[in-house]
């Protein structure tokens, strides 16, 4: 399992519009991609909100299939907040509460 982690900062005023826009658009777009397992968005509020968005993927093919969408999201965030978006891919070394994907048997 892999995770793409996107991090950015935003002033409180600009964050609401970004969050509302992404909340409406992202779930169906991500759910349609192969290997998508979940999305988690974290916020540390303050004068400058620190936002971390994690997407979970079964494998490298899923991450690759989502790259165009991740590019568009990062561009939208940067345009709305005036800040850059940092993106990295991590191996998920452990998990709790995220079920293994059930593979259909061929028999």
- Residue 57: domain span: 2-91
pTM of the model: 0.81
Average pLDDT, whole number, for the chain?
84
In whole angstroms, what is the distance from residue 30 CA to residue 50 CA?
22
Q: Is residue 53 part of a domain?
A: yes
Helix (H) or strand (E) holding 87: strand 86-91
At 13, list the tokens.
Answer: 């005023």
Q: Is residue 76 part of a domain?
A: yes
65: CATH? 3.30.70.100
pLDDT in tens, 20-65: 777 777 888 888 999 999 888 888 888 888 889 899 999 999 999 9
Q: Is residue 103 part of a domain?
A: no
Q: Is residue 98 part of a domain?
A: no
Q: Is residue 101 part of a domain?
A: no
Q: Which of 93, 92, 73 has the alpha carbon at shortest distance from 7?
A: 73
The tally of domains found in the chain comes to 1
């Amino acid at each position: 399992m892999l995770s793409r982690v996107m991090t950015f900062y935003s002033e409180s005023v600009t964050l609401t519009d970004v969050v509302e826009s992404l909340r409406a658009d992202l779930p169906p777009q991500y759910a349609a991609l192969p290997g998508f397992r979940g999305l988690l968005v974290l916020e540390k509020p303050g004068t400058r909100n620190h936002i971390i968005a994690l997407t979970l993927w079964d494998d490298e093919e899923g991450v690759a299939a989502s790259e165009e969408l991740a590019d568009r999201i990062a561009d939208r965030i940067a345009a709305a907040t005036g800040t850059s978006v940092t993106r990295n891919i991590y191996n998920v070394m452990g998990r709790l509460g995220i079920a293994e994907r059930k593979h259909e048997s061929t028999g």
